[in-house]
Amino acid sequence: MSKLEQILILEPSSDLKFKGPFTDVVMANLKLKNPSERRVCFKVKTTAPRRYCVRPNSGIIEPGATLTISVMLQPFDYDPNEKSKHKFMVQTIFAPPAITDPETVWKEAKPDDLMDSKLRCVFELPSENDKVNDVDAVKATPALNSSKADGLSAPKSVSGALDDSEMKKIVDECKRLQIQVGKLSEENRQLKDEGLRLRKTQRSDHRTSNSNSLIGRESSASSLPSLLVVIAALFIGFFLAKFIL
């Protein structure tokens, strides 16, 4: 049995072109059109999966519908002398009437039911004419904007109002943040005052204990001579009593 012909119409049909410079992500679009009266499941595969990001890379296309696939080439060091060997394949199959899980359809698909189309990746650098056209387009933009100034006056006022509302939100947010900063500063100041008070209390307690110990030493020192005087008086009284008797 011969292989089924691709039911989807691809645009482009053969080469998927990416125009540099390739220092940033470069995107190319691939359109898939379903001209049949049946739903079609599709998958997009590539020989270099790490170099490309495809969205969506699988799904279902309804009868008569067209779907645009975004193919994003990641930045790389481009060498004009190196021929690109990257390829893409769009694989399709008619969806069953009561489809619930597309992955199950692919797992149970028979090779004879599969259809596919292959595309070659082509890398191009912008030509000098393209650069000149881009510069002309940039120069023409101010003139185009000035010629439509009257017609765009109402939208500008609306955007200005939106800008004012956004600015008011920003100002309110700044005020709220300033209030929070003030509260935090006040709490920080209170904590510092509490720390200073505790340190002063500890110092005063230490000084009080030192002074009490000093007074005790002084009192004990002062009581020592008094005791000696009493002892001396007793001895003198004892000797005087002996002499008198």
SS3 of 73-141: ECCCCCCCCCCCCCEEEEEEEECCCCCCCHHHHHHHCCHHHCEEEEEEEEEECCCHHHHHHHHHHHHHH
Percent of the chain with pLDDT over 70: 61
- Residue whose structure tokens are 């650069």: 131
- What pTM, to 2 d.p., does this model score? 0.52
157-167 average pLDDT score: 50
Q: What is the pLDDT of residues 125-134, one digit of tens each?
A: 887 555 545 5
pLDDT of 86 > 70? The answer is yes
- ∠ CA(160), CA(161), CA(165), 5° rounding? 115
pLDDT at 50: 94
Cβ(122)–Cβ(85) below 8 Å: no
